[in-house]
Structure 1
Amino acid sequence: MADKQTTPIPPPAPIRLVAVIVSFNRCEHLKQGIAAVLDEPVAGLVVVDNGSTDGSREWLASLDDPRLDVVTPERNLGGAGGFELGFQVALDTFQADWLVCFDDDARPVPGAFRAFMERDLDGIDGAAAAVYYPDGSICEMNRPSWNPFWHGRLLWRTMSGMLIGRSREGFHLADHHYAEENMLEIDSSSFVGCFVRAKAVQRIGLPRGELFIYGDDIIYTLTLRKAGGRHVFLPHVRFVHDCSADLRGSARITPLWKAFYAYRNGLVMYRIASGAWFPLVVPVKVLGWLLAARHYPQKRQYLRLCREALRDGLRRHPGASHDDLTRRYP
């Protein structure tokens, strides 16, 4: 009896991964980032230049690579607006399966994208890379996290940590998670080394450009999770973030208009994160704003900004234009 003929199963189609970089006046960093991306197996690279004046646009215009699409909006859209535009262009131009986004001072380490593509991504909607400073230490500002309001034990640990000034440790990944090999379920991550499945973007929408800066990445990844998507941490997929940000920061946010986005967007984030707890969270956050007034010399102007941030955060209203904010709160 003749052997039964079987049809060979074809190998899976390669992932069409498209990178999105938002840039503003960091030409030397941008050069490193673009070189690192184009050395990886990407189907496309979208660069949104937010009105750079340091030669970035001229240098970008000199590049010739069919995978590169440079977008130059007429005005500065902020990080959030840049990613909103970049995601849309990536989907329209390159028919992406997955998007990966990051700032112009970040870049994948060699082999990062290939390592991502070799993972079993079935059932996964988003993924966060392990982000390090150039010296090899973990980049604190890009440490993924869980939402403590969705995990009772974490909420208690976070509240306990607030008493000793270590609340971040209650819900952010620990150092040992970076040394492990397996993927880990998370709730939120930054937009540095953030991978999102194209179908998930089509389901939940684009990043919210009206947020301009601050919290847009956490809001987006929390929205993904709240919609039932799976978001994971991939410790073997590594990025470098050559930034100078310090989480300790200053007691005063300068220029003042940035405080509006930090406060207003914070309320947007907490509405998603805290759910039924939101009415209890709002007075705590506002109290923090009021206590911070002592650090601002123009207290009347600062308090007016707080009122606007509270109003727009509660109304879910985009508020004043960016140009208006920078004029009134320099």
Structure 2
Amino acid sequence: MPAPESPSPTPEHEVSVVAVVVAYNRRDLLKEALDALALQSHRLAGVVVVDNRSDDDSEVVASEHPIGAEVLSLSRNTGGAGGFAAGIAHALSVFDPECVWLMDDDTIPTPTALEELIRAREEYPEPVALLGSRVVWHDGRDHPMNTPRRRPGATGDEIKDSVAVGAVPVRSSSFVSMLVDTRAVRFHGLPVADYFIWNDDFEFSCRLLRRGIGLYVPTSVVEHRTKVFGSTDVDPGERFYFEVRNKVWMLTRSPSLSPEERILYTGSSLRRWGRTFAGSSNREVLRKAGLKGLRDGIFRAPRPTVRVLDGAGVPTDEVHDIESGAGRA
């Protein structure tokens, strides 16, 4: 009588991940980013590139790249905030993945960057809302623009569980490699498109992590190829408007912070603005931009993301489906 055959091993579940890359006028870096995504040791279920009305041929680079990306070409520049809102909505509509991996076009992930994020996510004993990578500059130094701090008030168990998977519990994360569980997106909603640039990832990640779990995973490494090495204190010129307006919006209108955190972040924001002003080479520009941002932050509210993206070439039904279900998923 022949020996019974051994049962075939049950294949391990492979987490489905779609990368969302927001591109604007950096076609060479975009190509490098897509090349790096193609080399990931954890296979991607898809790639969505949002071209924010680039003046160069970024759209062509994305469309012709062998990775086979879904290219969402916008009719106007919606900033990083609008680009990620549109890209996430499109990724969920077309692919319905378990996670989306968010990055700008100047983010170059190392081959195991995604694998390490997935490993930490799967090994952690509870569901994780989002995970972030270690972000370095091209010379290997940790990039001060994207280096998170340990979550204030993290419990002993949270720290212990994080250390066990080679991670650190965090309260916020950056769009320079952020892996997000799509269940958290469906519950909390998309990035606020009206932020345009700056503090959009801070608000979005804080919203997801007010009661959710976020991890910083140092073994997942990406390069952030900014032109200069520095933090967000670097003299921003007229863009200081967005820093002030968006921070006021976040401190006064977003559900991302507790009352105690609003007080703490208000103090830290004022100190940061003071450092920025002190180091500026053109304080009059900063003064005017800051006052305008303060005025608009106080007297205006962010418009709904569906309305901001209307007419930009975004399938607004995709955005509406997520925003209308937020809080009820």
Specify the TM-score bucket, using the shorter chain as the normaliser.
0.7 to 0.9
Contact 1:48 1:73 in 2 (8 A): yes
Alignment correspondent of 1:73: 74
CA distance in 2, matches of 1:296, 1:130: 31
- 2:14 matched residue in structure 1: 14
Report the aligned-residue RMSD.
Answer: 3.4
Structure 2 residue 175 is the aligned partner of structure 1 residue 191 = yes
- The CA deviation string for residues 253-288 of structure 1, in whole angstroms up to 9 with x for no partner, is 32x2x1210111122344444624646865885695
Give the distance between the partners of 2:111 and 2:26, measured in 1 at CA.
21
Total equivalences in the alignment: 283
Paired amino acid for 1:206: L
Distance 1:293 1:79, change over 3 A: same
| CA gap 1:291/1:69 in 2 versus in 1, 3 angstroms | closer
Contact 2:50 2:83 in 1 (8 A): yes
Cα–Cα, structure 1 residues 192 and 303, in superposed 2: closer, same or farther, change >3 Å?
closer
The one-letter code of the counterpart of 1:106 is T
**How does the TM-score come out when normalised to structure 1?**
0.74
Q: Which residue of 2 aligns with 1:42?
A: 44
Between 1:269-278 and 1:212-221, the stretch displaced more is: 269-278
Contact 1:289/1:306 (<8 A) preserved: no
Contact 1:102-1:193 within 8 A present in 2 as well: yes
Moved more, 210-219 or 286-295: 286-295
Higher radius of gyration, 1 or 2? 1
Find the aligned partners of 2:299 and 2:151 in 1 and give their Cα distance. Answer: 23
- Is the counterpart of residue 318 in structure 1 residue 302 in structure 2? yes
> Match for residue 32 of structure 1?
32
The C-alpha deviation readout for 1:182-212, integer Å capped at 9, x for no partner, is 1221111111111100101101101111100
Q: Aligned to 1:237, which of 217, 220, 224?
A: 220
1:58 paired residue number: 60
Q: Any idea what the Cα deviations from partners look like across 1:240-265, whole Å, max 9, x if unmatched? A: 111124436777432x2x12101111
The reply on whether 1:265 has 2:237 as its aligned counterpart is no
Please tell me whether residue 253 in structure 1 is matched to residue 255 in structure 2. Answer: no
Instruction: Mark the runs of 5 or more structure 1 residues left unpaired by the alignment.
Output: 1-6, 152-178, 323-330
Please report the TM-score for the alignment, with normalisation by the length of structure 2. 0.74
Using the TM superposition, give the Cα deviation of residue 25 of structure 1 relative to its aligned residue in structure 2, in angstroms: 1.0
Structure 1 pair 318–308 and aligned structure 2 pair: CA distance change class (3 A):
farther
Distance verdict in 2 for CA 1:246–1:265, change over 3 Å: farther
Identity of aligned residues (%): 27
Is the CA contact 2:109–2:222 (under 8 Å) kept in the aligned structure 1? yes
Per the alignment, residue 124 of structure 1 pairs with 128
| 1:124 to 1:8, Cα distance in 2 relative to 1, 3 A | farther
Q: Which residue of 2 aligns with 1:169?
A: none
Q: Which amino acid aligns with 2:187?
A: R
